[in-house]
Amino acid sequence: MTALHVNVDHVATVRQARRTTEPDPVQAAVLAELAGADGITVHLREDRRHIQDRDVRVLRETVQTRLNLEMAPTAAMCALAIEVKPDVAMLVPENRQEITTEGGLNVYELKDSVREAVQKLHDAGIPVSLFLDPEEKQIDTAAELGAEVVELHTGRYAEATAERQRRLELDILMTEASRVLDEGMQLNAGHGLNYRNVRPIAAIPGVRELHIGHGIVSRAVLVGFEQAVREMKALMTGHR
Ligand SMILES: CC(=O)[C@@H](O)[C@H](O)COP(=O)(O)O
Ligand SMILES: NCC(=O)COP(=O)(O)O
């Protein structure tokens, strides 16, 4: 069965909008686990726009399932991962101007620097996942670098508006998913998945984990809104 790993980055996005202490992504992670999440994912960006170092450290102490740390393949991030010891570290590309991760890590072109990061993490006993576009040369390079896991970037599929394009992107993902499995690596997928587009991705043969964040946080804001307003009204009117 495909596992659901919940990314709580955007709980922290709301907190950082006010630089305050709520909502706390650590509390969201607890609730996600109580609801059946198989793992918790966070992306500690170099610009610290949402998740903070404190979040990663506290999550390491509190997550009862598995903690997946997404990070750029830099020396500073590797040092932090080695200190915190997530269950898996996923190397992702980062660009400070981007709104979200725009593409997979180009391990084919950045082979030497990625190899260095993979080596450091492996030396510390941390399994490595690589966040890749569904392309043959990227997957072959991931296998060559000794990555245990590949997470296929589902962004192009998720963003496709025309059905024909979506089908095409799904076919590409399915072809490259088989390649990941043939190379003996664990197959994960994620980015931009939501309640409308998740089913065909969850049905890809051999996919082990889906990492989903923005879609779940967006839904949570709406499905929890009525209760939050009712509770505030009750407090104001002394009915609580
Ligand atoms: C790597 C990836 O696709 C996401 O997990 C990542 O977290 C996106 O970054 P933001 O959460 O900042 O959108
Ligand atoms: N690696 C993908 C992830 O963790 C969640 O991405 P998104 O659902 O927030 O787009």
> 108: Cβ below 6 Å to ligand 1?
no
pTM over 0.90: yes
Residue 220 has a pLDDT of 98
- For the range 118-122, what are the long-range contacts, defined as Cβ-Cβ under 8 Å and sequence gap of 24 or more? 118/91, 118/145, 118/146, 118/147, 120/78, 120/82, 121/78, 121/81, 121/82, 121/89, 122/146
Is the pLDDT at 21 greater than 90, yes or no? yes
> 5: Cβ below 6 Å to ligand 1?
no
What is the number of the ligand closest to the CA of 45?
1
Active site residues: 43, 70, 191
For ligand 2, the distance from its centroid to the CA atom of residue 119, given in whole angstroms, is: 25
Among 69, 88, 214, which residue has the most ligand 2 atoms within 8 Å of its CB, making it the best to mutate? 214
Looking up tokens 């992702």, which residue turns up? 92
Burial class (CB in 10 A: 0-12, 13-18, 19+), 122: middle
> 175: Cβ below 6 Å to ligand 1?
no
179-216: burial string, b at 16+ Cβ within 10 Å, e else: bbbeeebbbbbbbbbeeebbeebeebeebbbbbbbbbb
- 211: Cβ–Cβ under 8 A, 6 or more apart, which residues? 5, 7, 41, 68, 151, 188, 189, 190, 191
Is the pLDDT at 52 greater than 70, yes or no? yes
Residue 60 has a pLDDT of 98
Q: Nearest C-alpha to atom 4 of ligand 2 is from which residue?
A: 211
With bands split at pLDDT 50, 70 and 90, how would you rate the model's confidence at 97? confident
Residue 101 has a pLDDT of 87
pLDDT, one tens digit per residue, over 61-93 is 999 999 999 999 999 999 999 999 999 999 999
> 215: Cβ below 6 Å to ligand 2?
yes
From the annotation, which residues make up the binding site for 3-amino-2-oxopropyl phosphate? Answer: 7, 18, 192, 213-214
What is the number of the ligand closest to the CA of 95?
1
Beta strands in the chain, from DSSP E residues, in sequence order: 3-7, 39-43, 67-71, 88-91, 128-132, 149-153, 186-190, 207-212
Residue 184 has a pLDDT of 98
Domain ranges of the chain: 3-236
With bands split at pLDDT 50, 70 and 90, how would you rate the model's confidence at 145? very high
Residue 135 has a pLDDT of 98
Residue 160 has a pLDDT of 98
For ligand 1, the distance from its centroid to the CA atom of residue 233, given in whole angstroms, is: 35
Homologous superfamily assigned to 3-236: Aldolase class I (3.20.20.70)
Q: What integer best gives the mean pLDDT of the chain? A: 97
> 213: Cβ below 6 Å to ligand 2?
yes
With bands split at pLDDT 50, 70 and 90, how would you rate the model's confidence at 176? very high
For ligand 2, the distance from its centroid to the CA atom of residue 124, given in whole angstroms, is: 25
With bands split at pLDDT 50, 70 and 90, how would you rate the model's confidence at 95? confident
Helix (H, G, I), strand (E, B) or coil at 226: helix
pLDDT, one tens digit per residue, over 102-142 is 899 999 999 999 999 999 999 999 999 999 999 999 999 99
Residue 240 has a pLDDT of 66
Residue 88 has a pLDDT of 98
